[in-house]
Structure 1
Amino acid sequence: MSNKQTKKNDVFTSVAVKYKPHQDAAPRVVAKGKQQLAEKIVDMAKSSGVPIVEDGLLAQLLYQLEVGNEIPEELYTPVAKILVFIYRVYKHRFTSSAVEVE
């Protein structure tokens, strides 16, 4: 997740989330950063073909978590909506071991 810097005082924030449905109990934060580090996270995601979703509020909430931590239950729904969208758009990239979304 990332947010765009919209005002002069806004801080660009990126949070990378990883989820393996058959392995993980919940998605977890695997990287986070602000400003230049946030830009590097986005650049790495783009160069690796990782989908990027812009959601400023969710990025700010996820940024509060420590790297390696699972997301809390109160963020399951917004993160799940994004994961469903990604699986639908990019399902050709996922192997048969990935969750099928219909």
Structure 2
Amino acid sequence: MTERTPRQAIALRYDGQKAPTLTAKGDDELAEAILAMAREYEVPVYENAELVKMLARMELGDSIPHELYLTIAEIIAFAWHLQGKTPAGFELMPAPTERDITPKHP
């Protein structure tokens, strides 16, 4: 008989100033409720069981560990991109212009 791994979910809050904090976590029914609320408020959902397992060890209100800053930053940046958002003060770099790389002969 195989033991079923419970479905887990976490929620993070990011205010744009400090490291994201853990605002919700739960298994099975609570996990489904967290995901349902995210869908209701059109919050992007990223599924990664190993990352959730690491973050679920934290206490509510804890900031994410420094070792996960880059991983979480990439997820937040992608979620913002999907929603058409950009951080305050962020400016897109103009696309590089094409350069003529044909050799010039005298």
- Name the TM-score, length of structure 2 as normaliser: 0.76
How far does residue 33 in structure 1 lie from its aligned partner after superposition?
Answer: 0.3
Report deviation, 1:91.
2.4
Q: Secondary structure, in 3 states, of the residue corresponding to 1:85? A: helix
Distance 2:50 2:89 in 1: 26
What percentage of aligned pairs have identical amino acids? 32
| Cα distance, 1:101 vs structure 2 | 7.5
> What number of residue pairs does the alignment pair up?
91
- Alpha-carbon RMSD across the aligned residues, in angstroms, is 2.1
CA distance in structure 2 between the aligned counterparts of 1:83 and 1:33, rounded to whole angstroms: 21
Match of 2:12 among 5, 9, 17: 17
Q: Tell me what 1:49 maps to.
A: 42
Distance 1:32 1:67 in 2: 8
Is 1:84–1:101's contact at 8 Å kept on the other side of the alignment? no
Q: Which has the higher helix share?
A: 1
Q: TM-score, normalised by structure 1?
A: 0.79
Distance 2:13 2:67 in 1: 17
Q: Does 1:32 align with 2:29?
A: no
Unaligned runs of 5+ in 1: 1-6
Q: Could you say what secondary structure the match of 2:71 adopts? A: helix
The aligned amino acid for 2:16 is: P
Q: CA 1:99 to 1:43, structure 2 compared with 1: closer, same or farther past 3 Å?
A: farther
Report the Cα offset of residue 100 of structure 1.
Answer: 3.7
The structure-2 alpha-carbon separation of the partners of 1:101 and 1:71, relative to structure 1 and needing over 3 Å to count, comes to: farther
Q: Distance in 1 between matches of 2:90 and 2:3?
A: 42
Residue number in structure 2 paired with 1:70: 63
